[in-house]
Amino acid sequence: MPRLIVFNQVSLDGFISDANGDMSWAHRPDAEWKAFSEENARNQSRLLFGRITYEMMAGFWPTLQAIQSIPEVAKRMNRLPKVVFSRTLDKASWNNTRLVKRDLVQEVRSMKREPGPDLVLMGSASIVSQLAQEALVDEFQIAVNPIVLGRGKSMFAGVGGRLNLKATRTRTFANGNVLLCYEPSA
């Protein structure tokens, strides 16, 4: 059965975007981080997004800039199967994307019961909090960036109770990012 993995970059004070929704601070070029990103892109998975993250990703990865600057990652992002959860989008035109308008939790439960590759959710703070609250997330991969934003959007803002997690691995990068991986614990 596929696992649901959340991968997000956060500021040191825990925000996935600043108060205006900007995430440009999360792009800290560095050879080691680039190699890590390319390695992650090689993994077989299905990508999950909420509308806002989907529109941001669909507006970047198919562009000439993405294809020229990060070709290996762009190739995978454009080729991998994607699911966007939205009640307001009428269509999803990014290559290999399926639009889902029905119940998020029910759909993810169903996807986790089907055979296939892991599910990777990026960005999409409100979706992360809903799925975490329902105990559907199998692993959190959080890349902490060495920047303090002061205020912004937290991926856990909608969680109504405690989430007990156990650390499974860490990795420090030359650009100052620290990858923290957690799995739910009892």
> Of 25-29, 92-96, 105-109, 128-132, which range is least confident?
25-29
Does pLDDT of 24 surpass 90?
no
Name 6's Cβ contacts closer than 8 Å, sequence gap at least 6: 120, 121, 122, 128, 131, 132, 137, 139, 140, 141, 142, 155
Comparison of pLDDT for 113 and 73, the residue scoring more: 113
pLDDT surpasses 80 at 55: yes
Domain limits for position 172? 4-184
Q: Given a cut of 90, is residue 121 above it in pLDDT?
A: yes
d(CA 70, CA 186): 39
Q: What's the pLDDT score for residue 62?
A: 96
> pLDDT band at residue 69, thresholds of 50, 70 and 90?
confident
Give the pLDDT of residue 43: 76
Q: Residue 36: its pLDDT value, please?
A: 86
- Which CATH number fits the domain that encloses residue 17? 3.40.430.10
Residue 30: which pLDDT band, with cuts at 50, 70 and 90?
Answer: confident
Q: What is the pLDDT of residue 41?
A: 67
Segment 4-33 shows an average pLDDT of 90
CB-based contact 182:168 (threshold 8 Å) = yes
Q: Which residues contact 107 (CB under 8 A, 6 or more apart)?
A: 85, 100
Pull the structure tokens for residue 104.
Answer: 């998020």
> Helices (H) and strands (E) in the chain — how many of each?
6, 10
- Mean pLDDT for the chain overall: 92
Residue 179 three-state SS: strand
pLDDT of residue 26 exceeding 80: yes
* Amino acid identity for residue 109 in this structure: R
Total domain count, the chain:
1
Distances (CA, A) of 179 to 8, 73, 136, 145, 158: 10, 18, 21, 9, 23
For residue range 127-176, list pLDDT tens digits in order.
999 999 999 999 999 999 999 999 999 999 888 889 999 999 999 999 99
**Rounded CA separation 176/164 (Å):** 26
42 sits in the region (left: phi over 0; alpha: psi -120 to 50; else beta) called: alpha
Local structure of 93: helix, strand or coil:
coil
